[in-house]
Amino acid sequence: MNHKPLRIGIVGCGWAGGQAVLAAMAVPRTEVVAVSDLNETLRHRVADESDVPEQYSDYRQLLEDNNIDAVYLAVNPVMRYQMVLDAFAVGKHVLVQKPHAVRAEQITAIDAAAKQAGKTLQFCYFMRHFPINRQIRAAVQQGDIGLPYHARIFLKYNYRPATEGIERWLQVYGQKGGTLGQHASHELDMVWWWMGCPKPIWAFATKHAVYPTYDGPEGPAEDYFSGQVGLEGGMTIQIDCSRWLHSDAPTSVELYGRDGAVSGGKISRHQDGAFITEEVDAPLDISYSQPPDPVPTFYYEIERFAMAVEGLVEPEVNAQEAYLFMQILDGLYDSAKTGEKVSIE
């Protein structure tokens, strides 16, 4: 490669930030120049393990570093909103972790700041970038399962976040840190994207705070969430997710079409009284570099971001899709809070 690597600064040294460092170090198009975190222990651990040249406690110090072209913001959405605006104000490209915001309206302001700065904006959902998931989307879009009409998701994580420190936001309902926003939103976004990102119309949901450890004014975040989303064209998505479940039920992510289904990463059909499966052989729409083994979690996503900055591809997820998906999350959270079906504007 003859081009100059994209020099990235990573804000936030929790799990996501640490994984972003590993991925950006491995992607040929990028290099990690600096990390930032107020937590000195986390900051030193991530920087030392990957030999990151610079460390900053305050993210504003990182933004002032002229050796940095772009920032990856791996902090919670409450903190992140102002950081995104500050990054564009000093002329950095920005990759925004999920959940992308607290409310969809913030996506509009973020997009406006990116356009004013003339810089690349990309939103995270790393599962979109796995080659097999991109092939599945291509297969669905070319009609391999016929017209899609419904998706079904069930998953669990069995993880109880800390009540203090950097994970405290995960306990607060409305900050998108419960099981839906923090865990299952990956799969929810993926099946919606497979469908072609249809406009959301309505949402109906319910929640259970089984282990409420937060008693502030917003109430505790959900431990179990169940909901359904209505989409343009009559399509629907059903989701059930938990972050602590006393059952060894397997994860299920399926998309149903008139002539087949996506199940277990393959195409499934019922023919002559039996189920048959087919490997997905749709073409891949983007050429990635060869990743190391094992593949860092955010490898493909960060490479896509670097390619978008170069102007070779469009950002994935773009601002329009991020806004629509935040409307889905907002609708589900609002419905579960009130117990009423809500219309999505």
Q: Is 72 contained in some domain? A: yes
Question: Are residues 10 and 138 part of one domain?
Answer: no
Q: What's the pLDDT band for 165 if we cut at 50, 70, 90? A: confident
Determine the average pLDDT of the residues in 140-160: 96
Q: What angle do CA 279, 282, 283 make, to 5 degrees?
A: 135
* Percent of the chain whose pLDDT exceeds 90: 94
Read off the pLDDT of each residue in 188-194 and give the average, rounded to a whole number.
Answer: 98
Of 305, 336, 322, 286, nearest in space to 192 by CA: 322
Least confident residue range of 169-173, 260-264, 300-304:
169-173
Confidence of residue 153 (pLDDT cuts 50, 70, 90): very high
Do 100 and 38 belong together in one domain? yes
| 136 and 191 assigned to the same domain | yes
- Tens of pLDDT, residues 50-96: 999 999 999 999 999 999 999 999 999 999 999 999 999 999 999 99
Residues 115 and 97 reside in one and the same domain: yes
In angstroms, what CA-CA distances link 138 with 7, 163, 213, 270, 332? 32, 42, 43, 21, 28
279 and 294, same domain (yes or no): no
When pLDDT is averaged across residues 291-300 and rounded to a whole number, the result is 97
Indicate the residue type of 178.
Answer: G
Helix, strand, or coil here: 23? helix
| Same-domain status, 112 and 21 | yes
Q: Note whether residue 152 is domain-resident.
A: yes
Tokens (6 digits) for 55: 């460390």
**Is the per-residue pLDDT at 150 higher than 60?**
yes
What is the domain-level CATH number for residue 250?
3.30.360.10
Please indicate, yes or no, if residue 215 is contained in any of the structural domains.
yes
**What tokens appear for 48 in the block?**
């030392």
Shared domain for 116 and 190, answered yes or no, is: no
- Residues 203, 292 share a domain: no
Instruction: Judge if 257 and 144 occupy the same domain.
Output: yes
CB neighbours of 115 closer than 8 A, spacing ≥ 6? none
Whether residue 255 lies inside any domain: the answer is: yes
Residue 1, in any domain of the structure? no
Establish if 264 belongs to a structural domain: yes
Domain total of the chain: 2
**Cα 236 to Cα 248: distance, rounded to the nearest angstrom:** 26
- Residues 70, 163 share a domain: no
Do 144 and 107 sit in the same domain of this protein? no
Mean pLDDT along residues 149-171: 92
Alpha-carbon span 207 to 253, nearest angstrom: 20
What percent of the chain shows pLDDT beyond 70?
99
Q: Which residue has the tokens 């669905």?
A: 140
Residue 117 CB neighbour total at 10 angstroms:
18
Helices (H), the chain: 15-26, 40-50, 59-63, 77-89, 104-117, 131-141, 185-194, 299-310, 319-338
pTM (predicted TM-score): 0.96
Q: Are residues 242 and 250 in contact, defined by beta-carbon separation less than 8 angstroms?
A: no
| DSSP bridge pairs for 152 | 238, 254
Q: Which pLDDT value is given to residue 15?
A: 94
The one-character DSSP state at 220 is B
Statement: residue 319 has pLDDT above 90: yes
Task: Point out which residues pair with 153 in neighbouring strands.
Answer: 239, 253
Domain with 135, as residue range(s), is 128-284+324-343
For the chain, what is the total number of helices (H) and then of strands (E)?
Answer: 9, 15
Amino acid identity of 295? V
Q: Which residue has the higher pLDDT, 344 or 177?
A: 344
Helix then strand then coil, % of the chain, to nearest 5 = 35, 25, 40
- Is 148 domain-assigned? yes
Is 141 contained in some domain?
yes
Instruction: Indicate whether 145 and 255 sit together in one domain.
Output: yes
Distance CA 178, CA 33 (A): 32
For 212-308, strand residue ranges (E) read: 224-231, 236-242, 252-257, 261-263, 266-271, 274-278
CATH number assigned to the domain comprising residue 43: 3.40.50.720
pLDDT grade for 2, boundaries at 50, 70 and 90: low
